[in-house]
Each structure stands twice: as structure tokens, then as C-alpha cells.
Amino acid sequence: MDNRSPALFLGDAMALDFLNSVATPVDVPVDWIEDGEGLLRWLKQAGLVSPEALEAIRVQALPGELDKVADQARNLREWFRIFVREHKGRPLTPEALAELEPLNHLLERDEGYSRVVTRQTEDGEQLELRPMRKWRSPEALLLPVGEALGRFVCTEDFSNVKACEGPSCTLLFADHTRGHRRRWCSMALCGNRAKQAAHRHRRKLA
């Protein structure tokens, strides 16, 4: 697996999927946003920015500009990883607000607006008020990520945020299962490996 392979979206929360954009799914670390093009691919796969907006930003960006934004995204990712790891496993309290100042500073850059558009429904087209954004520079690519982080800290119960129990896995996820007994990022990845290891251990004991 490399950073041109489809990114992993196993966190059950976009904010955690952002943290999981660097991971060690199969022994070797993979960073899906290690450069500007990687950031564009990840945002497209995440559905956070439309393909049309991504292409427009790619065309208008100066040489090296997207790589600088990707560097900012990685810094944001690691700052938020520290925050999540410090607070996971217990409810997030209002006392954490002071630690979120870097996130609020990012969100202050937004130039959002609303627009009346039509959308297709089973009964035909209907009008709706849709939030929009002015993509004035490549740095605006960080704004939908910041919104995802903001929604996460305001709506997610941090008691349900867990780290995968795979020995070498670095993935985080929100456990929304009944009984909150999820242990693995994915049964197809770490869960299956754990089953195979347990089976080998039982055979060895036998």
C-alpha cells in the first residue's frame, strides 16, 4: 500500500479519518497527504471539497504552494492528534476550550456564505439554502477540515474514542457499536490478524 492507494476511512468520524490519513496499515507507514497532490486526492476521497473546486485550486496555485498547504495540514493533524490522545476515553469538558484556540484561529479565516439552489428529491426539484465557500487561495483547503474537527469536539462523546488494539496499528476510531465493544480499526485488517495470531497460539499450545 502507498499514498496513491485509496485512503482509509475507518474512524467513523471525519476528524478521526483526518488523523488516520497517516497510518501503518500493513507494517509500513503511509502518509496520504505527504505533498500537495496527496492533500487534493485525500480531500476528494473524503468528499470535503468538490472535484471542480479542487481542480480550480490546482490550476491557480503557484509552484510549491500546495505543498506548503499540505505541510500546514500535517501540522494541524499532529496538533489535533495530541489533543485527541490526551482526552480520549472520557467526556470532553468545557475546560478544554483553551486548548482549542489553534482550531478557532483557523476557522476565523473562513469566507463562507449561503446560496439558494435546487436539489433533486423523489418529488422533483426543491429549493434549499446551501452553505458555500469562496476558495480565494489554496490555504482555504484547510477550512473544511477545520469544520470537521470543530463538529467532532462539539458533538462526539470522547468516551467512545479509541485506539485500535492492533500491536503496530496507529488508527483511531469512534466506537458507535452497541455496547461499545469495538476493539479493531477493521475486522478485515487488525481484527483478522488478531484472530490468526490467536489461532496460531492455540495450535502451538496444543
- Look at residue 19 and give its three-state secondary structure: helix
Residue 31 pLDDT > 50:
yes
Domain count, the chain: 1
Q: Is the pLDDT of residue 4 over 90?
A: no
Across all residues in the chain, what is the average pLDDT? 91
Q: What is the pLDDT of residue 24?
A: 84
Q: Is residue 115 part of a domain?
A: no
Torsion of CA 13, 17, 20, 22, to 10 degrees: -160
In a domain, 6, yes or no: no
Answer with the residue of higher pLDDT: 198 or 20: 20
- Residue 66 within a domain: yes
pLDDT digits over 159-190, tens only?
999 999 988 888 999 999 999 999 989 887 78
User: First and final CA of the chain: distance in angstroms?
Assistant: 35
Strands 172-174 vs 161-163: parallel, antiparallel or unpaired: antiparallel
Give pLDDT, residue 14: 98
pLDDT at 197 over 70: no
For residue 37, is it within any domain? yes
Kindly tell me if the per-residue pLDDT of 199 is higher than 50: no
Calpha distance 116→2 (Å, rounded):
41
Instruction: Find the domain containing 174 and state its range.
Output: 14-108+139-205
Residue 128 lies in a domain: no
Report if residue 121 sits inside a domain.
no
What confidence tens digit (pLDDT) does each residue in 123-150 have?
899 999 998 999 999 999 999 999 999 9
Above 60 in pLDDT, residue 200? no
pLDDT in tens, 60-103: 999 999 999 999 999 999 999 999 999 999 999 999 999 999 99
pTM, entire model: 0.88
**What pLDDT, on the 0 to 100 scale, is given for residue 196?**
61
Query: Residues 6 or more apart from 67 whose CB is under 8 A from it?
Result: 35, 36
In this predicted structure, what is the pLDDT of residue 202? 56
Whether residue 125 lies inside any domain: the answer is: no
pLDDT digits (tens, 9 = 90+) for 97-121: 999 999 999 999 998 899 999 999 9
- What is the mean predicted confidence (pLDDT) over 15-37? 92
Q: Does 61 fall in a domain?
A: yes
Residue 195 has pLDDT above 80, yes or no: no
Q: Identify the DSSP state of 1.
A: -
pLDDT at site 186:
86
19: domain CATH number?
A: 1.10.3300.10
